[in-house]
Amino acid sequence: MDWKRLYEDFSDLSKTEQMRLFQAIKDTLFPEEKEDISKMIHQIREVRFSNGLACFHCGSIALKRNGKYRSRQRYLCKDCGKSFNDMTASPISGTHYPHKWLKYVDGKTLPKIAEELEIHISTAFYWRHKILNALRSLGFSTLKGIIESDETYFLESDKGKKRIIYRKPRKRGGKATKRGISKEQKSVVVAHDRNGNIISKMAGRGRISADEIDQVLSEYLDKEIVLCTDSATNYKAFAKQKGISHEIINANKGVHVRKGVYHIQHVNAYHQRLKKWMERFNGVATKYIDNYLFWFRFLELNKQLSKKLCKQTMVLDACKRANHITIKTFKIA
């Protein structure tokens, strides 16, 4: 039997059958995927217990290892008598297939993920946001030195909501009915320091105010900073309120850089990339905007990683903190 004879028959198969055969051959030739799973669980164990091994229920360190199940180590607490495993209270605790989670974290569309994993779209959506919620719970780090900040706007979307009372429902993405910035738009503040730290968070509805900027930024600003923004009055008011050094870059007057270092080109470029990346989701429901903003921020911060490593890092980061998000709390959120 030689392979060329086999291959001749290949073209007689339907496209679906061809794909199945390809997958079967791939699985036979590269069985290491299973090893990948146990390697990943090992990594998850290390990040989760980086401060030492303690009981998830009572915090006791009197633990006994209690066998393994599907590569997950089980532990029994000698104090409270409860048990847990490597994945307990992580966003991926409920799944038998942790490797499948890697599919959720590359910007594939939900219908595509649902099809590939043979699950319902709403399940795919729930899993995606479980990871994103966990990732978001890690929060931002403090911005230092020269900080560029600017806001951008996203059209409000009520995707997923059953009834829209105050205006006609808009289908997928859509356009604003009014020109310019109106109450239909959600403002998003992006701030960027020169060490690569990024804050990106929804601020409010319509034209942004100084108070909204304050709410997003203040807790993450170092003491001695220089804030660079465009000439918008809301930022002037914010800087004044807080007594922050402020460099205004007035592009309308042809100024793009002041004193050689003060500009807002990093933050503007970030906005452009963010807008482009968001297009694939065809309009994001307002209550999930922060999850997507955090996701994009993660991708930007980990740009230098290979695609595969980036996805692994995202799952590991999402597992860093214990998260108790169930379907019930998720739906109310």
Residue 55 or 217 having the CB closest to Zn ion: 55
Scan residues 148-207 and list those touching Zn ion (CB under 5 A).
none
- Is the CB of 57 or the CB of 99 nearer to Zn ion? 57
User: Rounded to whole angstroms, how far apart are CA atoms 210 and 244?
Assistant: 13
Q: How far is the CB of 66 from Zn ion (least distance, A)?
A: 13
CA 57, 60, 65, 70 dihedral sign is positive
Residue 282 binds Zn ion (CB under 5 A):
no
Nearer to Zn ion by Cβ, of 74 and 246: the residue is: 74
- Residue 73 tokens read as 């180590």
- Our CA angle for 68, 72, 77, nearest 5°, is 70
Regarding 74 and contact with Zn ion (CB under 5 A), the answer is: no
Q: How far apart are CA 236 and CA 152, in angstroms?
A: 17
80: contact with Zn ion by CB under 5 A: yes
What SS3 state is found at 67? strand
Q: Which is closer to Zn ion, CB of 76 or CB of 226?
A: 76
CB 174 within 8 A of CB 283: yes
Is 231 a residue that touches Zn ion (CB under 5 A)?
Answer: no
- Burial group, residue 66, by CB count within 10 angstroms (0-12, 13-18, 19+): middle
- Site for Zn ion contains 77 (CB under 5 A): yes
Select 82 or 246, whichever has its Cβ closest to Zn ion: 82
d(CA 99, CA 305): 18
Hey, what are 108's tokens?
């594939």
Both tokens of 26, joined, read: 């791939």
306 class by beta-carbon count within 10 Å (0-12 exposed, 13-18 middle, 19+ buried)? exposed
Determine if 57 is a binding residue for Zn ion (CB under 5 A). yes
**List 18, 23, 60, 195, residue binding Zn ion (CB under 5 A):** 60
> Binding residue for Zn ion (CB under 5 A) from 40, 41, 44, 55?
55
User: How many residues belong to the site for Zn ion (CB under 5 A)?
Assistant: 7
- Asked if 329 is part of the footprint of Zn ion (rule: CB under 5 A), the reply reads no
Binding span for Zn ion by CB under 5 A among 71-79, 108-116, 228-236, 295-303: 71-79
Contact call for residue 61 and Zn ion (CB under 5 A): no
Among 19, 25, 53, 58, binds Zn ion (CB under 5 A): 58
CB closer to Zn ion out of 60 and 241:
60
Q: What is the DSSP letter of 258?
A: B
Note the residues at the interface with Zn ion (CB under 5 A): 55, 57-58, 60, 77, 79-80
